[in-house]
Amino acid sequence: MSTATFRIWRGDAQGGEFREYPAEVSEGMVVLDALLQIQARHANDLACRWNCKAGKCGSCSAEVNGIPRLMCMTRLSQIPLDQPVTIEPLKAFPVVRDLATDLSWNYRVKKKIKPFKPRPPDAADGTWRMAQEDVDRVQEFRKCIECFLCQDVCHVLREHHQHEKFIGPRFLVYTAALEMHPLDTEDRLPELKQAHGVGLCNITKCCTKVCPEDITITDNAIIPLKERVVDEFYDPLGWLAKQARNALKR
């Protein structure tokens, strides 16, 4: 059994440092295995979040050698072990302790997005009819496990700290899932344009690259939302048509 060295960031909101720990490496191990081994043997109080260790809950997000990843789905065989493996907390959020960051901003943002509002049921028994083809794209967005890796890698949040003006890729995907839900009747375009800042995304697709669920965040969610906002607010023909519709309603 070989050993590898892990360079783990230890500290809190006041600051911290990297510390090196050894871990025994066995077949099939993932980064989280190494971390839990170090926690049990060398650093009982090493703070990190994890739950399912199966890539389903999205709790063990961290930066492994500088790349945002789920530690439970990152095999040691995928990374070079001849040099220390660096593990750091997510950069887009304030550190609580060691690898645990304060993610509460994400929960506050979600609360601000208007909830699902279905059309009246299609059948007398209170149920709806939807074709599989019509729910496919929403199901893609609903695969999201809220690991917030996309939020972490997004430079609007990570480097420019625009947390007050931009809801980030995760919540654009969430909005898209609601907006494209075949039953939904709510209109979220005005806030998408203003408070939620869809225009701040400049389509670098970093979020899509780190998504552990392979959601095509930029192409399938964000760009269509941008198009809807453009159609609603900037399309002169659309604007005229809307005025005419409103006039007729009056």
List beta partners, residue 19.
8
Both structure tokens of 175: 């909005």
119 binds another protein (CB under 8 A): no
Residue in 3, 20, 83, 130 binding another protein, rule: CB under 8 A: 130
Are residues 138 and 130 in contact, defined by beta-carbon separation less than 8 angstroms?
A: no
Residue in 18, 50, 65, 200 binding another protein, rule: CB under 8 A: 50
Binding range to another protein, per CB under 8 A, among 56-64, 83-91, 190-198, 216-224: 56-64
Residue that the structure tokens 């066995």 belong to: 26
* Residue closer to another protein (CB basis): 74 or 226: 74
Lay out the site mask for another protein across 171-200 (x = CB under 8 A, - = otherwise): -------x--x--x----------------
Q: Is 216 exposed, middle or buried (0-12, 13-18, 19+ CB in 10 A)?
A: middle
Give DSSP secondary structure letters for 155-191: HHHHTT--TTT--HHHHHHHHHHHHT-TTB----HHH
Number of residues that bind another protein (CB under 8 A): 58
Are residues 91 and 63 in contact, defined by beta-carbon separation less than 8 angstroms?
A: yes
Both structure tokens of 139: 């199901």
17 binds another protein (CB under 8 A): no
46 binds another protein (CB under 8 A): yes
- Whole-angstrom distance, CA of residue 89 vs CA of residue 102: 10
Residue in 7, 19, 53, 165 binding another protein, rule: CB under 8 A: 53
47 binds another protein (CB under 8 A): yes
68 binds another protein (CB under 8 A): no
Angle at 142 between CA 136 and CA 146, to 5 degrees: 155
Both structure tokens of 38: 């170090």
Q: Which residues make up the interface to another protein (CB under 8 A)? A: 12, 26-30, 33, 39-41, 44-59, 73, 75, 96-98, 100, 103-104, 107, 110-111, 115-116, 118, 121, 126-132, 135, 138-139, 142-143, 145-146, 178, 181, 184
